[in-house]
Chain A
Amino acid sequence: MSSALSIRQLTKTYGNGFQALKGIDLDVAEGDFFALLGPNGAGKSTTIGILSTLVNKTSGTVNVFGHDLDRQPAALKRNLGVVPQEFNFNQFEKTFDIVVTQAGYHGIAPKIAKERAEQYLTQLGLWEKRDVQSRELSGGMKRRLMIARALIHEPRLLILDEPTAGVDIELRRSMWTFLTELNQKGVTIILTTHYLEEAEQLCRNIGIIDHGTIVENTSMRQLLGKLHVETFLLDLKQDLPVAPTLHGYPCRLVSPHTLEVQVDKDIGITALFGQLALQNIEVQSLRNKTNRLEELFVSLVEKNLSKVAV
């Protein structure tokens, strides 16, 4: 499969001397749904800024569907749609005008621009708000407006920088469905998010960036496969005075009726219930302490932090 995005030795040093990117390499295949994760200040937004030409790179190369950022910026931009983290549209313009104007910037004739604007605003549930000034939209609507605007020239690569930040769960899920359908139609998607459940659910491949370097770049399945121990919380029917002894399962009482248990992937969870039953401990419900990807993410970032500190 051909490459949608290829980054080589990309560096960025800001005017104040801060080195945001320290020579990253990154490849995203055409048709992929890719998660670019990292803590705040890791270099995600700088990378996206360089791709969208809003940030000047210091060195390195960027290719989008074979179009080089330095030599063919216009061709690169035709293939790229960006949904930034912060709202960046004219607050006094109407919803419909914002999308149609963006189409005009891409050289799309007004008639086609209006048809597409209707299509995308309808799909994103904003058609009823087409004549409303953008400043009057809710936060979730503004995010969807930015998605409609980024799609108006029908890019082959869509980059979303925290598109669901501050969006309620119902709307978040409807955006997941929309993005999944878009990806199924062939649009390559790169997503940054702090909701790791979102990345786990949507993305097939993942890159983790920290302190300006890529610390992990693999498939979601392979990454999750590295997780040897999962932590579960068991809600108990009766309160316990002390934590029970469970062979092969380190545990502690979080509260008298909540037991935290670490389960090794090689041992599995089945034997745990046998041991609990022998001790007459009844379990009402069971849940993951944290998202699986979150556990890995934290451990990778902590590992990298200790390297950086050294």
Chain B
Amino acid sequence: MNIELRTNWVALNTIVYREVRRFLRIWPQTLLPPAITMVLYFVIFGNLIGRQIGDMGGFTYMEYIVPGLIMMSVITNSYGNVVSSFFGSKFQRSIEELMVSPVSPHTILIGYVLGGVLRGLAVGVIVTLLSFFFTHIQVHHLGVTIVVVLLTATIFSLLGFVNAVFARNFDDISIIPTFVLTPLTYLGGVFYSIKLLPPFWQTVSLANPVLHMVNSFRYGILGVSDIQISTAITFMLLATVVLYVLCIRLLVGGRGMRA
């Protein structure tokens, strides 16, 4: 292995290890809150309100919302991990440790994204395990489930990175999650099928990328979906590539990092 490749391989492992160590060290802030929130969703929406709602898409309401809630956790946590970790590095200037090292921008980006994906998956697994206390779910299509969850976690990790690069203070890293991510997620078919909406709002909903992710994942678990799976996966692949290129350009240009 040549020196460039070896350096970047060791550096990638170091970044990922550091990222995982960070979110495990502060588990009461990273792993525990989504677990508690999702249990409350299961109890209130699934058990109490869900019984009154009845079936949706041929499944009990609890079964219907479980994939959406898992996806919601993955989205929030993969985004949150990268935005807070990378902005934290900028804020404390420890990002300079990486910038003075012979590490490729690709390695830096992949390292942070893998950190976000791993936290998203860790929380996704925790929420899935908790859902077993409330309902019984089976995986309809394992391949689609894995591809969709990985692509979603990657896309939101990349988006978190973009947010962190442009953020100049702590307000800037909470504005997007609060005013963009949360509404998109809540209106992204986590709690309902868009077939319940009037035709106009169904069309509007299709413009929401989260809807495609949630429904693709729901298809993987339950086998039902409001959208075309192949279109959704193609869109996600395209979004991953576009965001990756954007992030690399930001890193190489040193935006928000180099004077």
Shortest distance between the CB of A203 and any CB in chain B (Å): 23
A90: nearest chain-B partner, CB-CB: B94
Q: Are A52 and B100 in touch, CB under 8 angstroms?
A: yes
Q: Are B102 and A88 in touch, CB under 8 angstroms?
A: no
Q: CB-CB < 8 A to A92: which residues of B?
A: 25
Q: Are B97 and A101 in touch, CB under 8 angstroms?
A: yes
Assuming the contacts A75-B102, A106-B102, asked whether A56 and B254 have C-beta atoms less than 8 A apart, the reply is yes
Q: Is B13 an interface residue (CB 8 A)?
A: yes
Within 8 A of A (CB), among B1-45: 3-4, 6-11, 13-15, 17-18, 21, 25
Q: Are B258 and A56 in touch, CB under 8 angstroms?
A: yes
Assuming the contacts A90-B94, A105-B11, asked whether A73 and B99 have C-beta atoms less than 8 A apart, the reply is no
Q: Is B89 an interface residue (CB 8 A)?
A: yes
Q: Are A104 and B11 in touch, CB under 8 angstroms?
A: yes
Shortest distance between the CB of A55 and any CB in chain B (Å): 5
Within 8 A of A (CB), among B78-102: 88-89, 92-94, 96-102
Q: Are A102 and B92 in touch, CB under 8 angstroms?
A: no
1/0 contact string of A71-96 vs chain B (CB within 8 Å): 00111011010101011111111000
B95: nearest chain-A partner, CB-CB: A88
Shortest distance between the CB of A197 and any CB in chain B (Å): 29
Q: CB-CB < 8 A to A90: which residues of B?
A: 88-89, 92, 94
Complex: A149 Cα to B103 Cα, angstroms: 16
Q: Are A149 and B97 in touch, CB under 8 angstroms?
A: yes
Q: Are B99 and A107 in touch, CB under 8 angstroms?
A: no
Q: Are B101 and A55 in touch, CB under 8 angstroms?
A: no
Q: Are B102 and A102 in touch, CB under 8 angstroms?
A: no
Q: CB-CB < 8 A to B204: which residues of A?
A: none
Shortest distance between the CB of B18 and any CB in chain A (Å): 6
Size bracket, chain B contacts: 20 to 34
Q: CB-CB < 8 A to B98: which residues of A?
A: 105
Within 8 A of B (CB), among A89-125: 89-93, 97, 101-102, 104-109
Contact of B99 among A53, A75, A87, A89 (CB under 8 A): A53
Q: CB-CB < 8 A to B102: which residues of A?
A: 73-75, 77-78, 106-107
Complex: A189 Cα to B108 Cα, angstroms: 29
Q: Is A49 an interface residue (CB 8 A)?
A: yes
Q: Are B7 and A106 in touch, CB under 8 angstroms?
A: yes
Complex: A93 Cα to B25 Cα, angstroms: 10
Q: Are B13 and A104 in touch, CB under 8 angstroms?
A: yes
Complex: A32 Cα to B203 Cα, angstroms: 70
Q: CB-CB < 8 A to A242: which residues of B?
A: none
Q: Are B101 and A102 in touch, CB under 8 angstroms?
A: yes
1/0 contact string of B240-259 vs chain A (CB within 8 Å): 00000000000000100111
Q: CB-CB < 8 A to B7: which residues of A?
A: 74, 106-107
Q: Are A77 and B100 in touch, CB under 8 angstroms?
A: yes
A74: nearest chain-B partner, CB-CB: B102
Q: CB-CB < 8 A to A106: which residues of B?
A: 7, 11, 101-102
Shortest distance between the CB of B88 and any CB in chain A (Å): 8
Shortest distance between the CB of B20 and any CB in chain A (Å): 13
Q: Are B97 and A89 in touch, CB under 8 angstroms?
A: yes
Q: Is A178 an interface residue (CB 8 A)?
A: no
Q: CB-CB < 8 A to B15: which residues of A?
A: 104-105
Q: Are A88 and B258 in touch, CB under 8 angstroms?
A: no
1/0 contact string of B202-231 vs chain A (CB within 8 Å): 000000000000000000000000000000
Q: Are B96 and A107 in touch, CB under 8 angstroms?
A: no
Q: Are B100 and A14 in touch, CB under 8 angstroms?
A: no
Complex: A55 Cα to B99 Cα, angstroms: 10
A103: nearest chain-B partner, CB-CB: B14
Contact of A108 among B8, B10, B94, B99 (CB under 8 A): B10
Complex: A49 Cα to B98 Cα, angstroms: 14
Q: Are B100 and A49 in touch, CB under 8 angstroms?
A: no
Q: Is A54 an interface residue (CB 8 A)?
A: yes
Q: Are A14 and B259 in touch, CB under 8 angstroms?
A: yes
> Can you give 30 contacting A-B residue pairs, CB < 8 Å?
A14-B259, A53-B99, A53-B100, A55-B258, A56-B259, A73-B102, A74-B4, A74-B102, A77-B100, A77-B102, A80-B100, A86-B93, A87-B93, A88-B93, A88-B96, A89-B97, A90-B94, A92-B25, A93-B94, A101-B18, A104-B13, A104-B15, A104-B17, A105-B11, A105-B98, A105-B101, A106-B102, A107-B6, A107-B7, A107-B9
Closest 8 CB pairs of A and B: A104-B14, A107-B7, A105-B101, A74-B102, A88-B93, A77-B102, A107-B10, A90-B94
Interface residues, chain A, with chain B CB atoms under 8 Å away:
14, 49, 52-56, 73-75, 77-78, 80, 82, 84, 86-93, 97, 101-102, 104-109, 149
